[in-house]
Structure 1
Amino acid sequence: MLTANLLAKKRDGNALRDDEIRFLIEGFCDGRVADYQMSAFAMAVCVNGMSERETATLTRAMLQSGDLLPREVSGQTPRVDKHSTGGLGDKVSLILAPLLAACDVHVPMVSGRGLGLTGGTLDKLEAIPGFRTDLSEQASAAVLRQVGAFIISASERIAPADRRLYALRDVTGTVESIPLITSSILSKKLAANLDALVMDVKVGGAAFMKTLDDARALARSIENVGRAAGLPTRVLISDMDQPLGKAIGNAIEVNEAVAILESQPSDPALQGVRELTVRLCASLLTRVGVATDLDDATQRLGRALDDGSAMERFQAMVAAQGGRWTGELDVAPGRAVQAEQDGYVRHLDCQRIGSTLVSLGGGRRKLGDSIDPAVGIRMQVRIGDRVERGQPVLELHCHASRQNEYLEGLRKAVEITEDPVPPRPLFP
């Protein structure tokens, strides 16, 4: 086979055979297929799509490019995980992993870095001094045994083909592809030897899936390919036409996640983060038989948050992965952006907000860019809120020398109208 011929075949909208897909992935891993050729493959898939059979084969090929995490660590303890397609302010994984561990299941979470405008769980955790995401198989197994949860990066031995392709997609405009998203998620999750997986598919202006139809299509793809691979998978669709919670960034999102783990008094925006997290967790606890039904699961999860046991697991996980949690993380100085008129919040320009954060160093423009964990944005309003002229609508956290550069653009990101606007539901 010639790589160029296979690229032309997919470019022209034709389906690849199973052996052709395996040839591309195996060649990518051993150097016969160059990065620029795999980038061309990703673009062809992004434009022309893949059949369910092709997607399943791509998933298996990426899974088989590496090893499985050892199952004996968990013994009879159920192993579960969650994945989100991501969006602004999505810090659910930081809460979910220790919360589930406090409810007698193991969570071996293999996560990713920032992709497009979407913040990465690993980038957020690395805002904690000393926190390591590059644990060896032996070290991660020890953390799972000790704490019940870990959050690590995909090593060279866990779906290495996906790890490299994931990085290329981030910088080549090929993120928004249902087959590539499906295969990326499931190859890593299958490597974790799970008993159940729950997916949070985001839909809206700050998500990869812009329409409900696209979100449902991705949900079907993940459920069907997961089922075919022997991994029971449930999917929840949640709104991302506005940021999740209030905090957007790295250190600032860790602080908000900890506030929820500590069950601090919170406004409706933070209650929404808690509700989404609990719903995802409850689905897993019922699927593996730890809870009898959703009500039982919800009550158990609520107790784990309110009695401090989930926060204790978070602190234990941080310590086990080399981190030093001494309290709220430092965030760059803040400056308020104020409403210029009375009215109601009609629209939040998530693309503008996300792009601003990337420009500040809170995300990546290209592979290898460093992250500034201290920068961030804190939303002070939600769609449908009543505001008055001069009221803060968001707060920009960045180094003082750069604040004026971004204030006007962020002011335009909050659209205010005279007519009342209904609030957006979290679950469409």
Structure 2
Amino acid sequence: MTILDIIENKKNRKELSQEEINFFVQNYTSGIIPDYQISSLLMAIVLNGMTLKEATFLTQSMMHTGKIIDLSEIKGIKVDKHSTGGVGDKVSLVLGPIVASIGAVFAKMSGRGLGHTGGTIDKLESIPGFGCYVNEMQFKKLLKKSNIAIIGQTDDLVPADKKLYALRDVTGTVNSMPLIASSIMSKKLATGSDAILLDVKCGSGAFMKNEKDATELAKWMISIGKKLKKDVRAEITNMDQPLGRMIGNKNEILEAMESLKGNGEPRFMELIYSSSSEILMQAKIVKNKKEAIKLIDDAIKSQKAYKKFIEMINNQGGDSKIICQPQWWNPKYKLIIKANKEGYLRLTNSVVLGTVAMKLGAGRQTKEDIIDNEAGIELVKVSNEYVKKNDPIMILYSSKEIDLSLSKEVWKSIEISKNLKNDPIILNNLK
């Protein structure tokens, strides 16, 4: 068997065997097969597709190029949630403590943000002392102690995917459903969870721009999960608008805390209740959504969920006292954006706001960029709220002087009209 044989087979639309997929994944990861040959194979896959069997073999093969975490010694069903990336997406910071306080084991590995999407790890690392990188033994210890740990992905997790994705990114071979699905699933399945809830976002601020493509991706990932005997479910959610009222790092931590106290923005909390209910059903703690909602209500009203968040911060070395102080988030500069007329506000393009937040310093254009944890955006008003002329509708924050041209940029995402428009956040649920 040679890599040329495998390229020829895929070029001729033949289904690759498990042995062929293992051969190219292992030999490319170890540096034996050069980039130009794998580029050719990837292009053949993009043009001719893959079967579910091939995508499952690819997922397994990539998983086994690195460390696979074994959580079997921890009692109960281990649950995880994955988002395909969004603006203002602090869902895991609220959902995790809720389900953990109710009894589910929430074992999550998260990544950093790049471009207009924010990363959960970046947000948590804005908390002084918070440790995102722990070894497997410490990860298990945290889960046994508190039912929750949110940690960073380590370099020894699915190295094949890192190398293949970097090549896909520069060869025009990113846009392939089986390649995207196997990339996501290889990382999720390597972290040891029994059940995974996928939040597949679509719209202006998402990788998938429409519901049809998001649904297709979700179906690929669910099917791979079933083949590998994992309970994988998906929610298709709307990312035309940011989630909640805050975009940034420190300010999203604060919004997560307020949400756990019962003061969350209604549209954001609709997603929290839906996703938390699904995870509690996957964890077999409840039989239906009605039971789940009752437990979620209690976890928030009793402060159990908020206390679980503080417990997680303390467990991972974070200073939970300082984040409760008013001066913790204290940006030096701010720029208020005011309404230019009266009417109902509608935010139409979350990628614009995510990009502005990145330019303010809240995100990275390259992996080497240093984040300004004070930077971000506060949405004083969200979609369907009524504004009068000169009412503040959003505030831009930064540690550095703010480029006034950003005020013009945010208007590309703002409409004010006489009519309300319903934009549902949850578009579909798939199992």
Question: TM-score normalized by structure 1?
Answer: 0.88
Helix, strand or coil at the partner of 1:290: coil
Structure 1 segment 27-426 matched on structure 2, within 5 A = 27-33=27-33, 49-75=49-75, 77-165=76-164, 177-264=176-263, 266=264, 270-325=265-320, 326-328=322-324, 329-332=328-331, 333-417=333-417, 419-426=418-425
CA gap 1:362/1:54 in 2 versus in 1, 3 angstroms: farther
Structure 1, unmatched stretches of 5+, are none
| Post-superposition CA distance 1:188-233 (Å, at most 9, x none) | 2222332322111112111111111111111211111111111011
CA gap 1:421/1:36 in 2 versus in 1, 3 angstroms: farther
The 8 Å contact of residues 154 and 163 in structure 1, kept in 2 or not, is answered as: no
Cα displacement (A) at 1:170: 7.0
Cα displacement (A) at 1:38: 6.1
| Post-superposition CA distance 1:245-291 (Å, at most 9, x none) | 11111222111111111223x4xxx1222221221121122233211
Match of 2:426 in 1: 427
The 8 Å contact of residues 250 and 362 in structure 1, kept in 2 or not, is answered as: yes
C-alpha separation in 2, matches of 1:10 and 1:358: 40
C-alpha separation in 2, matches of 1:261 and 1:35: 47
C-alpha separation in 2, matches of 1:262 and 1:306: 7
C-alpha separation in 2, matches of 1:401 and 1:208: 31
- 1:272 is matched by which residue type in structure 2? R
Mean alpha-carbon deviation: is it higher for 39-48 or for 343-352?
39-48
- 2:323 is matched by which residue type in structure 1? G
Cα displacement (A) at 1:4: 7.3
Mean alpha-carbon deviation: is it higher for 364-373 or for 315-324?
364-373
CA gap 1:375/1:71 in 2 versus in 1, 3 angstroms: same
C-alpha separation in 1, matches of 2:195 and 2:225: 10
CA gap 1:160/1:8 in 2 versus in 1, 3 angstroms: same
- 1:427 is matched by which residue type in structure 2? I
Mean alpha-carbon deviation: is it higher for 167-176 or for 206-215?
167-176
Mean alpha-carbon deviation: is it higher for 377-386 or for 281-290?
377-386
The 8 Å contact of residues 73 and 145 in structure 1, kept in 2 or not, is answered as: no
Cα displacement (A) at 1:123: 1.3
Question: TM-score normalized by structure 2?
Answer: 0.88
| Post-superposition CA distance 1:286-314 (Å, at most 9, x none) | 23321132111111122112211112221
Helix, strand or coil at the partner of 1:102: helix
C-alpha separation in 1, matches of 2:169 and 2:101: 34
C-alpha separation in 2, matches of 1:119 and 1:173: 24
Mean alpha-carbon deviation: is it higher for 188-197 or for 136-145?
188-197
Matched pairs, number: 422
The share of aligned pairs that are identical, in percent, is: 35
Cα displacement (A) at 1:8: 8.3
CA gap 1:397/1:296 in 2 versus in 1, 3 angstroms: same
| Post-superposition CA distance 1:73-128 (Å, at most 9, x none) | 413x2211111112111110111222211111211111112144221111111111
C-alpha separation in 1, matches of 2:8 and 2:392: 53
CA gap 1:30/1:8 in 2 versus in 1, 3 angstroms: same
The 8 Å contact of residues 335 and 403 in structure 1, kept in 2 or not, is answered as: no
Q: CA RMSD for the aligned pairs?
A: 2.8
Helix, strand or coil at the partner of 1:199: strand
C-alpha separation in 2, matches of 1:226 and 1:156: 23
Cα displacement (A) at 1:45: 5.3
C-alpha separation in 2, matches of 1:372 and 1:11: 47
Match of 1:24 in 2: 24
Structure 2, unmatched stretches of 5+, are none
The 8 Å contact of residues 343 and 416 in structure 2, kept in 1 or not, is answered as: yes
C-alpha separation in 1, matches of 2:33 and 2:317: 37
CA gap 1:282/1:37 in 2 versus in 1, 3 angstroms: farther
C-alpha separation in 2, matches of 1:319 and 1:43: 47
- 1:113 is matched by which residue type in structure 2? R
CA gap 1:82/1:367 in 2 versus in 1, 3 angstroms: same
C-alpha separation in 2, matches of 1:35 and 1:324: 45
The 8 Å contact of residues 131 and 318 in structure 1, kept in 2 or not, is answered as: yes
- 1:180 is matched by which residue type in structure 2? L
CA gap 1:34/1:281 in 2 versus in 1, 3 angstroms: farther
| Post-superposition CA distance 1:363-422 (Å, at most 9, x none) | 2222333322221112233333333221222211123522424122113331234x4131
Helix, strand or coil at the partner of 1:88: coil
Mean alpha-carbon deviation: is it higher for 20-29 or for 334-343?
20-29
- 1:298 is matched by which residue type in structure 2? I
CA gap 1:286/1:96 in 2 versus in 1, 3 angstroms: same
Cα displacement (A) at 1:349: 2.4
CA gap 1:3/1:380 in 2 versus in 1, 3 angstroms: farther
